[in-house]
């Protein structure tokens, strides 16, 4: 991969294959979760500690590096999986068949959780067939209505992750409904302020905004409207105003744009694989690959 | 078309061909606008009064029923086009090559505009190739952050238009990021209240919400998450929480879902064709067809 190229899902899975990682899965008793754990074991050599109802894990045969620990309920499963990450036995936390809230309460617990100094945020990767590269979106999941300081941290979190995964010269579009700033619309004011910050060159990013989605992802649309911001029409990363917008764009990409996806929560002491229960095992396996590349580089950074 | 079928763009254009209509176009000096006027004239017999720089209308040959009126600037062009609709010379207002704000200031002027008792709102029609029918979205354009009463009126406006255009048994999904109501998230509280109103059966509509876009448009997704609201997975109409969400979903449908589209503003004394300047003449012609069917039925209602 050339220095200025963008990785695709195959590149990211190939990078994961060279890493060592142990996933702690909370409530692992789910066929698609177990299939993803098995895929990751076979393809990347990933080890795993599976917390949950071990009697419901029969679809996964016994194999080296996979440990099962029986737990009485989701809360215990979540607490033990988080503790495995805190103690260093595992390097990735993964959501199985339990409510997101149950897992995140354990992960965010003040004294026993996985908080770092920063803000946790959600990053989704989409592969729209008609786009030719991955399109990353943040934050469509964890921070419903972030304020300006939170948006800045959300953007920094995504850029940090993308650089670890191999992106350089990242084109960021801060999405709004249009380009001309209406001072009564907070997302536009925020976008203009964020885009003007001097931080982004140091993150290997060009940041434009506010910008409508059309000008963010279509060079033809940007040319037609004479919009000339650097990277217009070829966004790598979309920063959305709030989770409703991110959820709407993301689900439209999935259901009408036929985009495959993978997702992560970043900003905690370990990456958290938090894909939807309705995602298939391929999406879950890809999310594990993203987490492995991110966490393995973490370890290298800390050497 | 069977009573319970949904019209597609071809049906709507066929219905327009039987109507009489005169369009008043503000700032008509634009090749795509003129091509749409010509298409509508040839296909539907539509007449037109073109306000603007007549020296820049050469791409349209002289033809019966098309009048050109030279105007010194956009403001005059908008004022005269609105006045043509007020006076009855025209039955549809159309935006040409001028800013939306200039046209809408003339259309909304208290004493000289086109206000009715109700709220004006924007309705977009999308034809996603993988959906099998039109998907209507409101309000992604005119009311940025509507309150609850405005959302109700926006929904009523769209249902009124769709019924005039031939829809019955309309499946409405009030979109949010998820289904379980979080009382801290206003769009969810609003959606739950709206869906529970008794008005909808009288409008030949089933209304569900709050509901994520996946469960609104995918029966498989609704089944996987055990969501059983009437019409789930086969929405005809999406009511979005605000224009940022509608803009994001709509532009994703266009740019990643390859959905053709058409759009209208309803709720004024005449329909207003207000497609984007970057839309091609086919989208503009289709929007004229929608406006013709809507305004012709208006006249019938008033007989």
Task: Give pLDDT tens digits for B164-222.
Answer: 999 999 999 999 999 999 999 999 999 999 999 998 999 999 999 999 999 999 999 99
Q: What is the pLDDT of residue A294?
A: 84
Contact B144/A212, CB-based, under 8 Å?
no
**Average pLDDT of the segment spanning A150-169:** 96
pLDDT at A299: 42
| Half-sphere exposure (Cβ direction) of B237: Cα atoms closer than 13 Å | 29
**Cα distance between residue B11 and residue B8, in whole Å:** 5
Q: With cut-offs at 50, 70 and 90, classify the pLDDT of residue A280.
A: confident
Residue A51 β-bridge partners: A26, A69
Could you give the CA distance from residue A10 to residue A27 in angstroms, rounded to a whole number? 28
Chosen for mutation from A151, A256, A259 (greatest number of chain B CBs closer than 10 Å) is: A256
Residues B110-122 have pLDDT tens digits of 999 999 988 999 9
Is A278's CB within 8 Å of B224's CB? yes
* Mean of the per-residue pLDDT values of chain B: 93
How far apart CA B253 and CA A255 sit, in angstroms, is: 10
Chain A: give the shortest CA distance to residue B58, in Å.
22
Which are the contacts of B10, defined by CB distance < 8 A and separation ≥ 6?
A: none
Answer whether residue A153 shows pLDDT above 90: yes
Which residue, among B86, B12, B13, has the nearest Cα to B49 in the 3D structure? B86
Instruction: Convert the pLDDT of each residue in B42-84 to its tens digit.
Output: 999 999 999 999 999 999 999 999 999 999 999 999 999 999 9
Distance between CA atoms of residues B168 and B60, nearest Å: 39
**Cross-chain residue pair A256–B254, CB shorter than 8 Å:** no
Q: How many CB atoms lie within 10 A of CB B91?
A: 25
CB contact under 8 A, A257 and B256: yes
Helix/strand number for chain B, H first, E second: 10, 11
In a mutational test of the B interface, the residue from A135, A177, A217, A260 whose CB has the highest number of chain B CBs within 10 Å is: A177
- Written in H, E and C, the secondary structure of B11-80 is HHHHHHCCCCCEEEEECCCCHHHHHHHHHHHHHHCCEEEEEECHHHCCCCCCCCCEEEEECCCHHHHHHH
CA-based nearest residue to A208, from A160, A176, A246 = A176
Element (H, E) at B183: none
Whether residues B213 and A241 touch (CB distance < 8 A) is answered with: no
- Confidence grade of residue B300 (pLDDT, cut at 50, 70, 90): very low
Q: In chain A, which residues have their Cβ closer than 8 Å to the Cβ of B32? A: none
Identity of the residue in B130, B177, B278 whose CB atom sits nearest the CB atom of A244: B177
Whether A258 and B212 lie within 8 Å, measured CB to CB: no
- Percent of chain A whose pLDDT exceeds 70: 95
- In this structure, the strands spanning B22-26 and A237-239 are unpaired
Q: For residue range A126-136, list pLDDT tens digits in order.
A: 999 999 999 99
Q: Which residues contact B284 (CB under 8 A, 6 or more apart)?
A: B32, B33, B35, B36, B94, B273, B275
CATH architecture of B121-255: 3-Layer(aba) Sandwich (3.40)
> Is pLDDT above 80 for A282?
yes
ipTM: 0.93
- Residues of chain A neighbouring B188 (CB-CB closer than 8 A): none
Per-residue model confidence (pLDDT) at position B276: 74
Cβ of A213 and B248 within 8 Å? yes
| Residue A303: predicted pLDDT | 34
Mean model confidence pLDDT for chain A: 93
Extract the tokens encoding B171.
Answer: 């499946």
CB-based contacts of B139, cutoff 8 Å, min separation 6:
B121, B122, B123, B146, B154, B240, B243, B246
Give pLDDT, residue A296. Answer: 57
Q: What is the pLDDT of residue B1?
A: 53
Q: Angle at the Cα of A189 (from A157 to B174), degrees rounded to 5?
A: 80
Tell me the pLDDT tens digit for each residue of B114-166.
999 889 999 999 999 999 999 999 999 999 999 999 999 999 999 999 999 99
End-to-end CA distance of chain B: 25
Q: Inform me whether the C-beta atom of residue A255 falls under 8 Å from chain B C-beta atoms.
A: yes
Which of B175, B251, B278 minimises the CB distance to A213?
B251
Give the pLDDT confidence score for residue A300 in this predicted structure. Answer: 43
Beta strand spans in B199-301 (E): 205-211, 237-239, 260-266, 272-273
B144 touches chain A (CB under 8 A): yes
Give Cα separations from B90 to A119, B80, B93, B224, B239 (angstroms): 57, 11, 8, 51, 30
CB-based contact, B227 to chain A, within 8 Å:
no
The pLDDT score that the predictor gives to residue A5 is 77
Q: Closest approach of chain A CAs to the CA of B18, in angstroms?
A: 33
Instruction: Write the pLDDT tens digit of every residue in A197-229.
Output: 998 999 999 999 999 999 999 999 999 889 999
Exposure b/e, B111-124, CB count within 10 A at least 16 = b: eebbbeeebbbbbb
Same fold: B9-115+268-301 with B121-255: no
**Cβ neighbours of residue B301 closer than 8 Å, sequence gap 6 or more:** none
Q: Which residue has the tokens 């800390």?
A: A302
CA quadruple A108, A111, A114, A117: dihedral, nearest 10: 90
Q: Treating both helix axes as pointing N-terminal to C-terminal, what angle do A31-44 and A9-16 enclose, rounded to 10 degrees? A: 70
Cβ contacts of B156 within 8 Å, gap of 6 or more: B199, B203
Quick one: what percent of chain A has pLDDT higher than 90? 87
Dump pLDDT digits (tens) for B94-113. 999 998 899 999 999 999 99
Which residue in B67, B276, B290 sits closest to B164, CA to CA? Answer: B290
Residues in a beta bridge with A70: A52
Tokens of B12: 């709507």
By the CB < 8 Å criterion, does A252 face chain B? yes
Contact B213 A248 (CB under 8 A): yes
Residue A256's nearest CA partner among B191, B172, B260 is B260
CB A204 within 8 A of CB A189: no
In angstroms, rounded to a whole number, what is the distance separating the alpha carbons of residues B146 and B186? Answer: 11
B148 min Cα distance to partner chain A (Å): 17
Indicate if the pLDDT at residue B301 is higher than 50. no
How confident is the model over A180-197, as pLDDT tens digits? 999 999 999 999 999 999
Residue of A nearest to B142 (CA): A177
In the structure, what pLDDT confidence band is assigned to residue B295 with cuts at 50, 70 and 90? confident
C-alpha to C-alpha distance for B236 and B234, rounded to whole angstroms: 7
Checking if the pLDDT of A178 tops 60, the result is: yes
Q: In the prediction, which pLDDT does B228 show? A: 92
> What pLDDT does B18 receive?
81
Instruction: Give yes or no for B303 touching A (CB within 8 A).
Output: no
Domain boundaries, chain B: 9-115+268-301, 121-255
Rounded Cα distance between B32 and B280, Å, is 6
What is the CATH architecture assignment of B9-115+268-301? 3-Layer(aba) Sandwich (3.40)
How many CA atoms within 13 Å lie on the side-chain side of A261?
Answer: 27
Residue A66 pairs in a beta bridge with A48
């Amino acid at each position: 991969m050339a220095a200025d190229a963008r990785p695709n899902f195959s590149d990211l899975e190939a990078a994961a294959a060279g890493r060592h990682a142990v996933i702690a899965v909370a409530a692992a008793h789910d066929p698609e979760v177990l299939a993803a754990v098995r895929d990751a074991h076979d393809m990347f050599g990933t080890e795993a500690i599976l917390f949950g109802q071990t009697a419901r894990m029969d679809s996964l045969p016994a194999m080296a590096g996979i440990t099962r620990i029986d737990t009485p309920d989701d809360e215990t499963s979540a607490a033990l999986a988080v503790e495995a990450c805190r103690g260093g036995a595992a390097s990735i936390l993964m959501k199985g068949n339990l409510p997101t809230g149950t897992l995140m309460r354990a992960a965010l617990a003040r004294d026993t959780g996985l908080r770092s100094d920063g803000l946790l945020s959600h990053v989704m990767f989409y592969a729209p067939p008609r786009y030719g590269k991955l399109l990353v979106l943040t934050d469509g999941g964890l921070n419903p209505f972030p304020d300006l300081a939170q948006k800045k941290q959300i953007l920094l979190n995504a850029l940090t992750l993308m650089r670890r995964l191999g992106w350089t010269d990242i084109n960021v579009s801060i999405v709004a409904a249009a380009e001309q700033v209406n001072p009564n619309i907070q997302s536009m004011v925020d976008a203009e302020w964020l885009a003007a910050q001097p931080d982004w060159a140091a993150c290997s990013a060009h940041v434009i905004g506010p910008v409508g989605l059309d000008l963010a992802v279509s060079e033809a649309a940007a040319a037609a409207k004479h919009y000339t911001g650097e990277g217009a029409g070829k966004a790598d990363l979309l920063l959305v105003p709030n989770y409703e917008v991110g959820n709407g764009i993301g689900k439209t990409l999935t259901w009408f744009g036929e985009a495959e996806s993978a997702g992560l929560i970043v900003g905690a002491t370990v990456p958290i694989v938090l894909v939807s229960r309705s995602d298939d095992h391929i999406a879950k396996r890809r999310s594990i690959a993203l987490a492995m590349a991110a966490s393995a580089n973490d370890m290298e950074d800390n050497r």
